[in-house]
Chains A and B, each alone.
Chain A
Amino acid sequence: HRNLNGAGQFFSSGHTNNWAVLVCTSRFWFNYRHVANTLSVYRSVKRLGIPDSHIVLMLADDMACNHRNPKPATVFSHKNMELNVYGDDVEVDYRGYEVTVENFLRVLTGRLPPSTPRSKRLLSDDRSNILIYLTGHGGNGFLKFQDSEEISNVELADAFEQMWQKRRYNELLFIIDTCQGASMYERFYSPNLMALASSQVGEDSLSHQPDLAIGVHLMDRYTFYLLEFLEDIHPASKTNMNDLFKVCPKSQCVSTPGHRTDLFLRDPGSVLITDFFGSVRKIEITMETINLTDPIKQMEEK
């Protein structure tokens, strides 16, 4: 009979695949840092194993090939231009005007027109762990999309409830880096959601540092320290969520990051970072023998 002592450790989280939905909602050149935020999370997530087919990347504007960019086809995260987070192998699924509230909600709930290609769909099932990262300009209870429309925290909470009812996720980690970000997760009511935000209600999230050659701020503080934290993670690391909650304390971030774990069933201390940011394959070794049945005989034609 199967020896389950070692196997039990594999399935303590219960997920079999990982997805990521990374959204940058700001347009215009001075919002370069939001694109850099999203691309740095994209880079970390790809490095830790989630393939492009399981990542839905939405960038509301093009910074890399923007005519104002002195170094085309690059997006930097640090002022010494050390890290090009754009890279050479990037696939953006929704870009420019396609990043709208409607498309974002359709991706989450899966209600897309039938001719939508696979790369633009979130094909998750009830054993998927999903990472959702949003960045842009926001306020108390809303997030602005492209300076022309907004998504409210109620809409977002309802979308997650739809996902839960349709069994589209096993566990969901929601990270938001905007001003007053904590207001966006106040209204969640579906189970198995964990949320992190870069600032509390009434506080602004600040950007990190400008670069004099490019002329804009390159990254936001919270995501900058988040990227630093993630650069130390590798696919086999055992760091858990409690370390993620400690990223960017008030001394570095100026705003107070917040988190919400009351809807999450497991203890955050037992949740690995790679459960959401990486794509760790679970392999079950079995000693059972399976007898294949005899092939079915072809029916005689009449």
Chain B
Amino acid sequence: MWIGFSLLMPDCFSLSFLKDLHWCGVCMSVAPPHPHTNTDSFQEELVVRPLHSGDIYASFQFRTVWEADFSRGNKVSHYQLFPKSLGQVISKFSVRELHISFTQGYWRTMQWGQPFLPSPPGAELWVWFQDSVTDVDGTWKELTNVLSGIFCASLNFIDSTNTVQPSAAFKPLGVGNVTDHRFLRYATLPREIVCTENLTPWKKLLPCGSKAGLAVLLKSEKLFHSSFHSQAVHIRPICQDQRCKSTSLELRQTLNAVFDLHTSGQAKREWSLFKMFSRTLTEACPLASSSKIYIDITDNSQGEQFELSPASSLLSQAVVLGDRRTFSVYDLTDQATFGSTRSLNLLIRDMLRPLLHAERYVAGYGLQTGEIHTVMYNHHPYRSFPVLLLDSVPWYLRLYIHTLTVTSKGKENKPSYIHYQPSKDRLRPHLLEMLVQLPPNSATEVTVEFERALLKWTEYTPDPNHGFYVGSSVISSLVPSTVATNTSITQEQPLFSSFFPCKEELSYFVRVYTEPLLVNLPTPDFSMPYNVICLTCTVVAVGYGSLYNLLTRSFQIEEPSPGLAKRIANVIRRMRGVPPL
């Protein structure tokens, strides 16, 4: 689309760079405005944050806001910056909110802090449907099939055996007052692999593709050679302005990556965009209204820890994850920022210790029973806060809920809200949601015993000795913060701090995912059918054959054959005509 524009109006294209006006604004003043155009805007942003361990965290966000309203069944046929494939999915399946993420690797909270946008390993999909949908399960199944085609992923394996309807843990992140959790579906595929074939269609959804702007840096060879990599698509309705009379549709495409200091062969802690992505930036996306890079320089306020080159005079402060941090801002829409490659030489000292952190593991021995332990840590010195724990366990691990115990500091800790939905074999998984109050400076352990089920032999995967995955637990909480958070819904906030809506000033929303579990089920020996057939046939042949011979064999007397001398004598006698011996 934008290439077409540049052919039609070449003056427009060059003007926008010379006069530093943004693309859409200049063109609209030249072309006659279409009376029914839905206006949309696009922003892109990259945040680079050096981590305590020497690794570096890069977070891309691409946000398209489209003033279209699908809620009353309006038909939209004109797509500009918003990708058509997603727009058609939203209107066809009456989707209110859609959140899908593909992650490779596990986010190490204690070493890296909290991510801007958390995601569990594998694929995660949760969708709020409009309340006009009558058959939510059928629509959910069709939606997963269509998304599997769009993102080249095996999302068609999402079915009733791994879908749950959480009642409290996944509230809508957009505007709207629908709270009936019958319209919510949540599923994870912890085994899902993420590779270039998932990145390719994701990049094609961007207005500029991977040809201009920040998406130029997204090359798979460097991106997948990282400790953690996560790409996501979030669609939700947002208010158009403070009064919120009408809603717009917001699409955020996010990509988080953590580059490892050691595997990238660095001797000293020196990072540059070229070393991370093997590319440099040459221009902003012409369709973007804002294109910025934020480098976290909070630990370098006097310039003594590291050096940033080329230096930028633009500074910005933002409160994110309960911490006030300072950023050095590079505006890519400003021609003056472009030059040669940037080099970042960094030394990191301190980092705010994350207040909430969780781990999960399987205990026990043998292939019959086991225990799942989930440990949640509250590192705040004097404040306690509640967390909502969501666990979705597949049906073949039969949980014994009567053995569920929650202990903090050695004493029993009774959850104030429990929602448990038992599993049905081959139909639906276990769903356990609990609201637990974590005492200050403590570790709370949730344990539940389970028994492993024996599957039917066709239900095993082709590689059953690898094990079966149990999806990550989700822990959501409003964590108290020492720094006041900005609660207004203005548009000037940087994207990375405005993702989770914040209603209170003194707390911020955090979602922590635990590791997925890998559990071995009792696996039969699949060569047994062949062995059984051979053994049975042998036994039948030997047994039946012997019996048959015994019953039907009859004996006849036979003359023994004469010796050689006698045979020669018989021949001579026959020649003489004399009867033989």
Contact = CB atoms under 8 A, between A and B. Distances in A.
Interface string B154-167: 10110000000000
A90 B197 contact: yes
Nearest to A147: B462
B152 A92 contact: yes
B196 A90 contact: yes
Nearest to B210: A88
A209 to B, nearest CB: 23
A147 B195 CA distance: 23
Interface string A210-237: 0000000000000000000000000000
A27 B224 contact: no
Contacts of A98: 154, 156-157
Contacts of A93: 149, 152
Nearest to B226: A72
Nearest to B156: A98
A98 B225 CA distance: 26
A155 interface: no
A146 B464 CA distance: 12
A73 B224 contact: yes
Majority-rule SS of A interface residues: loop
For chain A, the bracket of interface size reads: 20 to 34
B106 to A, nearest CB: 12
A96 B123 CA distance: 14
A27 B193 CA distance: 14
A118 B152 CA distance: 11
Given A96-B193, A118-B149, A91 B156 contact: no
- Identify which of B191, B195, B461, B526 gathers the most chain A CB atoms within 10 Å of its CB: B195
Interface string A177-207: 0000000000000000000000000000000
Interface residues of B, number: 31
B462 A72 contact: no
Interface string A94-126: 011110000000000000010111111000000
Contacts of A62: 193, 195
A298 B70 CA distance: 32
B462 A65 contact: no
B461 A120 contact: no
Interface in B165-222: 191, 193-197, 200-201, 219-221
B559 interface: no
A115 B141 contact: yes
A124 to B, nearest CB: 18
B146 A117 contact: yes
Interface in B137-152: 141-142, 145-146, 148-150, 152
B291 interface: no
B103 to A, nearest CB: 12
Contact of A88 (B191, B220, B463): B220
A189 B562 CA distance: 62
A96 B154 CA distance: 8
A89 B462 CA distance: 28
B145 A115 contact: yes
Contacts of A74: 221
Contact of B463 (A27, A72, A73): A27
A115 B462 CA distance: 25
Interface string A59-94: 000101100000111100000000000111111110
Given A91-B200, A92-B197, A73 B149 contact: no
B152 A65 contact: no
A28 interface: yes
B311 to A, nearest CB: 33
A65 B200 contact: no
13 contacts: A27-B463, A64-B196, A64-B224, A65-B224, A86-B196, A88-B200, A90-B197, A90-B200, A91-B201, A97-B154, A116-B145, A116-B149, A120-B149
Given A64-B196, A73-B223, A90-B200, 9 more contacts: A64-B224, A88-B196, A91-B152, A93-B152, A95-B152, A97-B157, A97-B461, A113-B145, A146-B463
Interface of A: 27-28, 62, 64-65, 71-74, 86-93, 95-98, 113, 115-120, 146-149
